[in-house]
Structure 1
Amino acid sequence: MNTFQFIWQYIKRYRFQYIAGIITLFFVDFFNIFIPRLTGAITDGLAASAMDMGGIRKHLLALFLVGAFLALGRFFWRYFLFGAARGIERSLRDDMFAHLEKLDVEYYNEHKTGDLMTRFTSDLNMIRMAIGPAIICVFDATVMAVMVIGQMMFYVNVKLTLLALVPMLFICIGEIYYGKVMHPKYKERQEAVSALTDYVQESFSGVRVIKAFVRERAQMYGFLKANQHTMEKNLNVVRLQAIVMPLLDVIIGLSSLATLIYGGYLALTGEITLGRFVAFNQYINMLVWPMLACGDAINMFSQGSASIRRVQEVFNEKPRVYDTGRLLPADKIRGEITFSHLTFLHRGHSEPTLKDICLEIKAGTTLAIIGRTGNGKSTLVNLLLRLYNTKPGMILIDGRDINTIPLKDLREHIAYVPQDNFLFSDTLKSNISFGAQGQEMDAVIRAAKASCIHENIISFPDGYETMVGERGVTLSGGQKQRSSIARALIKDAPILILDDALSAVDTDTEEQILRNLKDNRQGKTTILIAHRISTIQNADLIMVLDEGEAKEIGNHASLMAAGGIYKDMFEKQQLEAAIGDKRRALQHSQVPDYASRRLFANHVGKGTGRKAKKGGNPR
């Protein structure tokens, strides 16, 4: 679909408004050409002393009525045409947002937020100008020029009219060339604005990191560079406009001067009357508008065309995760999960993130997944949510291939607490009830109590109506995590996923939340991802992921007995905890620093010695 076809499908939705606006604009232009004739008639009547006061009043009344009609007509064509352009802008924005929601997470991994925001704002504004004011300029200029030229030829003088038309030919040829040159410059400018917007958005989102690392000056230099680049791209546009627009004014001025001299000569020789010469000058002034309007229209069309292509790029992206044609509704999901030789390769990667994962999880089981960072734990649960596609048969839920379950049904039966604990800039109540709209306040409070955040919330001045800052910045890390857990618990879904959701809470709170989960989720499947073994040691089933493979599967006792990776991780964490306890005890009793360091060194030495005997490397 080319650019014109793309935008035409939106213009067709508002075709009746466009038709009404264009018809109104036509009549406005038609009545507009009578004003010079009326003023010319008055001039001739007064010059020849052939018009009395009654005739003057009659012509003045006609002028008043024409002016009143023009004022009313200009209101209506603006209402229809500008309203249609605003409507198309809104429809485009609605459709683009809906389309972006359908795109998979890989798209957002590859495209910056600032660039998308520019397409939603600046680019859509340029499109609105192209399908609103630009269309008005073209139609108005064309109709006005034809009507005015016709009046000039038949009412005034043919030779004088032809003289006035010569510069218009040069202007038309020049403006066509001007539009072709401007198009790539406008596209470069929009891309520069996108880059600048993205830089600013990232800088504001990461302002705490910038301040913590004292990088304000470096960020400022980066901003100045991006801003300078944007200014240069804008100047490329402005420089060309600075040459073309004054040159256009010069040509129009010379044309007006030539016709004024020649028209004055014709009036002096009596070939045309004084009134017709006055009318001709008014017609010349009316022709200036079409000449200028063509330049403005080409500007707006060039900008709009570049922006349409940028918006069209978004619509041309196709979602990779979507419902296939062989779907079976899933009214009730029990929560039984099977991974059958699950292998997954991220787009652009050369090595699989997950390799041949095989595991059967009965409904009501608590599965814990543990492993080093970057070993595919989050990818595994993202595949369960179908944020990425898997090959048929690799993931089964209740014995059904996950690809045959409608996305809406699948995700409605899964509650998810992501790693980043994203919260919206809204009240705590709205954030907790986000995934279960329509829930009563009692349900919100129950979920908050289960996630151990209720006491914190009621201590805030506004309680559950407390506004959360952007991405939850006004809350602590632990409060954000517990609010995210409450948001998941209120869904009461048969499958609950907690992706490292307890890393920012203290040990006592963690134990209380885990007890609440055990009580509240009887018979429901829970998947826990964690780095602390204390978080997951009571799980029914534990899977150890290492380099994308399920190296060990079992419960805490069986994995400890196996003496593999899990036991090694447990002993290391126990050692680290013991060292931490000893250090705190020594600090509390005010033992000299050198003794604390000596004790710490002895413990570390013993730990690394034991690992060395096992043949492992100290970590």
Structure 2
Amino acid sequence: MKLLWKMRFILRDYWKHYLLAFISLQAVAVLNQLPPWLIGRVVDEITLDGLTTQELMMYIAGIMVIAIAIYGLRYVWRSLLYGASIDLVRSQRDRLFAHFTRMSPDFYQKHTAGDLMAHATNDLNAVEESAGGGIMTLVDSVIAGFTVLAAMVFAVSGKLTLLVLIPFPILIWATGKYGTTMHKTFGRAQASFSNLNEEARETVTGIRAVRAHELNKRQEQRFHELSRETVAANQKVARIESIFGPTINLFFGLSFVIALMGGAWLIQQGEMTLGLLTSFTLYLGQLLSPMMQFGWQFSVFQRGNASWSRLESLFNQKPSVSDAPDAVEAPANHDLAFDIQSFHYPMADTPVLSNIKLQAPAGSFIGITGRTGGGKSSLFRLLQRQFNLDSGSAITLGGIAIDQIQLKSLRSQMAWVPQEPMLFSGTIAENIAMSKPDASREEIEQAARLAAVHEDITRFTDSYNTILGENGINLSGGQKQRVAFARALLSNANILLLDDAFSALDMKTEATILKNLSAYKNRKTILLITQRLPELITADHILVIDEGTIKEQGTHDELLDRPEWYARIFKQQARTLLMENKDTIDSRSFNDSSTLVSA
């Protein structure tokens, strides 16, 4: 009943389905009482030698008509109940998926993908069983049980009914104890399934690394151990479930013994006929079914209650980043300004960024570099409002603080290309067009050409219609980066965020893309994070970020004149670049930026 109370606001949307189903159930319960009564009449008439063939045929015909009516009514209530439960769970599955898409990154730091998939599958399936079969058996057992009891009391004998009900309070107490244990045990079983699900997902996703490092046996052993834990947890659930049936049968066997002994005594006293005792035992047999159903639905509801509690814990979590009540649309002016006093990730004590000040006028090219782990990518995550800024810090777009701009509007101004891009199941064309679903094939191909991936795509047998595996597993790292880059260009966003987006590319392909990208200069704001400093030669402003703070900043030429990290690393990379291209580049100084651009 706790589960039904928790789900009351969802169930009320389907009240018509449930009401009609319950009316059908009540009709079935009433009709079920007629055959035992008719059979009792037949027995009494046979005992008195008063049954004619014509009367027997009428009794048989009546029972057949009742059976057909019950058949039709059962079809009606099953269709209504199970149809409603399926639609109910569909709506909750949609709600859960929408909830996942709205949650902030810190939510996904707390929950693994395997755990969330288990919630969306196993837990919702348990809820569906409760909303359909569980409610059906609950109502059926209540309606049928009370209807049978009424028939036993008013059509046969109230005394005998009271006698056979003596074992029932103990039965109800026992099933309550089993149910409490079931709730805890099933919750642990669902949690173990989540762990197993996550292990399978990680292995399949990282199959290249598993094979490359010969981790097959290790992963098989880990999966085997988790599988055993899951089986053991579910076996505990099965052992508890298996107690319900024998317990109910035991008490019903006792009730049947009481019925026969009490009925025989009442017949001897002249208070009951053999036909009535026959009807009574048939009614008692009908009472067994609701009680068995009661035991089964108790198990179903305990499963559903445990699963719904797990789902509620997800639904109750709110995104840490959301629109302000007075949030506005993104302005037409796309000047960016960063003033970050400090920023801490949730539950972290050490700031990731501190004292970051930057002006990025619309149409400018800003380069960001520095040692790995210095906090560069965190800057992009804050600009996209994946996390809230610490108090006293601000990032503005067109003079408006980004936390006062609607999230959807803010993010529509940006196209982000991460170092490890995410590709989805579908064709290459569909992946590129995700940023603009109504794009024509010509627009898709033009974006691919600018990303220097068009020729690679056309080499596939199905060209742009090539189906990609999970996360583009049939593409190389460089091809995936360029497909993601084409997607970003197709979006026509005003701000391009390139987070080490060329790390998997060779120098020639990188140079081609940078040349194509130069056509967007003064039209789009470009923020490029990179470890390859020659990419930043044409940047309007360059930041060197290390340990979360700006160590150097200025133009390429200004930074090159200073004997610090940027100049030292640039010269090392430039020397390597010139050595690799010594056949095409003369011995001019690698301090000459134009030489490196041509390289």
User: One fold, TM greater than 0.5?
Assistant: yes
CA contact (8 A) 1:168 1:291 kept: no
- Stretch deviating more after TM superposition (469-478 or 156-165): 156-165
Moved more, 336-345 or 374-383: 336-345
What amino acid is the match of 2:499? D
Structure 2 counterpart of 1:169: 169
- Whole-angstrom distance in 2 between the partners of 1:291 and 1:169: 12
2:534/2:574 contact within 8 Å kept: no
1:597 maps to none
- Partners of 1:5 and 1:70 in 2: CA distance: 30
Match of residue 141 from structure 2: 141
For residues 553 and 306 of structure 1, the distance between their equivalents in structure 2, rounded to whole angstroms, comes to 56
Alpha-carbon offset, residue 537 of structure 1: 2.0
What per-residue deviation string (whole Å, max 9, x for no partner) do you get for residues 193-250 of structure 1?
Answer: 1111111111111111111111111112211221122122122222333444323322
Cα deviation for residue 342 of structure 1 reads 4.4
Match of 1:333 in 2: 332
Letter matched to residue 194 of structure 2: S
Match of 2:200 in 1: 200
Separation in 2 of the partners of 1:71 and 1:359? 76
| 1:322 Cα offset (Å) | 0.6
Query: Which amino acid in the other structure matches residue 349 of structure 1?
Result: A
Secondary structure, in 3 states, of the residue corresponding to 1:434?
Answer: helix
Q: Distance in 1 between matches of 2:338 and 2:158?
A: 86
Rounded to whole Å, the distance in 2 between the matches of 1:539 and 1:259 is: 94
Q: 1:338: Cα distance to partner? A: 0.5
SS of the equivalent of 1:439 reads coil
Distance 1:370 1:559 in 2: 12
Name the residue aligned to 1:100.
100
Deviation at 1:536, TM superposition (A): 2.0
Structure 1 counterpart of 2:157: 157
After TM superposition, give the deviation of residue 149 of structure 1 in Å.
Answer: 1.6
1:125 Cα offset (Å): 1.1
How do 1:210-609 and structure 2 match up within 5 A?
A: 210-264=210-264, 266-267=266-267, 271-330=271-330, 332-390=331-389, 391=391, 394-577=394-577
Distance of 1:169 and 1:290 partners within structure 2 = 15
Structure 1 stretch displaced more, 259-268 or 375-384: 259-268
Q: Which runs of 5+ in 2 are unaligned?
A: 584-599
Aligned to 1:602: none
Aligned residue type for 2:139: F
> Superposition RMSD on alpha carbons, in Å?
2.0
Deviation at 1:545, TM superposition (A): 0.6
* DSSP-derived class of the 1:381 partner: helix
Q: Secondary structure at the match of 1:544?
A: strand
Quick check: 1:62 aligned with 2:59? no
Residue identity opposite 2:84 in structure 1? A
Instruction: Tell me how far apart the structure 1 counterparts of residues 337 and 66 of structure 2 sit (CA, whole Å).
Output: 79
Q: Residue 424 of structure 1 aligns to a residue in which SS?
A: coil
- TM-score, normalised to structure 1, is 0.90
1:34 aligns with 2:34: yes
For residues 529 and 159 of structure 2, the distance between their equivalents in structure 1, rounded to whole angstroms, comes to 88
User: Normalising by structure 2, what TM-score?
Assistant: 0.93
Return closer, same or farther for 1:581/1:363 CA change in 2, 3 Å cut-off: closer
- 1:412-460 CA-partner distances (Å, limit 9, x unpaired): 1111112211100111111001011211111111101100111111111
Cα separation, 2, equivalents of 1:268 and 1:3 = 49
Q: Equivalent residue of 2:435, what SS?
A: coil
Q: 1:456 to 1:19 in 2, by over 3 A?
A: same
**Residues 364 and 526 of structure 2 are in contact (CA less than 8 Å); yes or no, is this contact kept in structure 1?**
yes
Report how many aligned residue pairs link the two structures.
Answer: 582
Out of 482-491 and 283-292, give the one that drifted further. 283-292
CA deviations 1:508-558 (Å, max 9, x no partner) are 111110111111454210111111112222212111111111111111111
Name which of structure 1's ranges 48-57 and 257-266 shifts more when overlaid on structure 2. Answer: 257-266
1:76 paired residue number: 76
Tell me which amino acid in the other structure corresponds to 1:127: V
Displacement after TM superposition at 1:463 (Å): 1.1
Instruction: Please tell me whether the aligned partners of residues 342 and 393 of structure 2 are also in contact (alpha carbons under 8 angstroms).
Output: no
CA 1:237–1:551 in structure 2 vs 1: closer, same or farther (change >3 Å)? Answer: same
Deviation per residue, 1:149-208 (Å, 9 max, x gap): 221122222332222212222211211122122211111111111111111111111111
Counterpart Cα distance in 2 of 1:521 and 1:78: 65
* Alpha-carbon distance in 1 for matches of 2:256, 2:575: 93
Alignment-derived partner of residue 601 in structure 1: none
Q: 1:264/1:67 Cα in 2 relative to 1: closer, same or farther (>3 Å)?
A: same
Contact 1:137 1:297 in 2 (8 A): yes
Q: Structure 1 residues 559 and 3 mapped into 2: Cα distance closer, same or farther (>3 Å)?
A: farther
Q: Note the alpha carbon deviations across 1:46-100, whole angstroms, 9 max, x for none.
A: 3323233332233222212211110111011111111111121111111111112
**Residue 563 (structure 1) shift:** 1.9
Q: Following TM superposition, by how much is the alpha carbon of 1:268 offset from its aligned partner in structure 2, in angstroms?
A: 6.4
Q: Give the Cα–Cα distance (whole angstroms) in 2 for the partners of residues 581 and 248 of structure 1.
A: 85
> For 1:83 and 1:277, how far apart are their aligned partners in 2?
40
Could you tell me which amino acid in structure 2 is paired with residue 370 of structure 1?
A: T
CA distance in 1, matches of 2:513, 2:578: 24
Q: Which moved more, 1:48-57 or 1:475-484?
A: 48-57
Deviates more, 1:477-486 or 1:288-297: 288-297
Q: Kindly state the Cα deviation for residue 6 of structure 1 after the two structures are TM-superposed.
A: 3.7
- Name which of structure 1's ranges 469-478 and 345-354 shifts more when overlaid on structure 2: 345-354
- The equivalences for 1:168-187 within 5 A come to 168-187=168-187
Deviations 1:273-297 (A, max 9, x none): 2322221221111011122112112
**Closer, same or farther in 2 for the Cα pair 1:487/1:343, shift >3 Å?**
same
CA distance in 2, matches of 1:264, 1:426: 74
Which residue in the other structure is 2:49 paired with? Answer: 49
**Residues of 2 paired with 1:229 and 1:87: CA distance?**
33
Residues 25 and 143 in structure 2, CA contact (< 8 A), matched pair in contact too: no
One-letter amino acid of the counterpart of residue 379, structure 1: S
Secondary structure at the residue paired with 1:166? coil
Residue 578 of structure 1 and its aligned partner are, at CA, apart by: 6.4
SS state of the match for residue 346, structure 2? coil
Cα separation, partners in 2 of 1:374 and 1:285, compared to 1, 3 Å: same
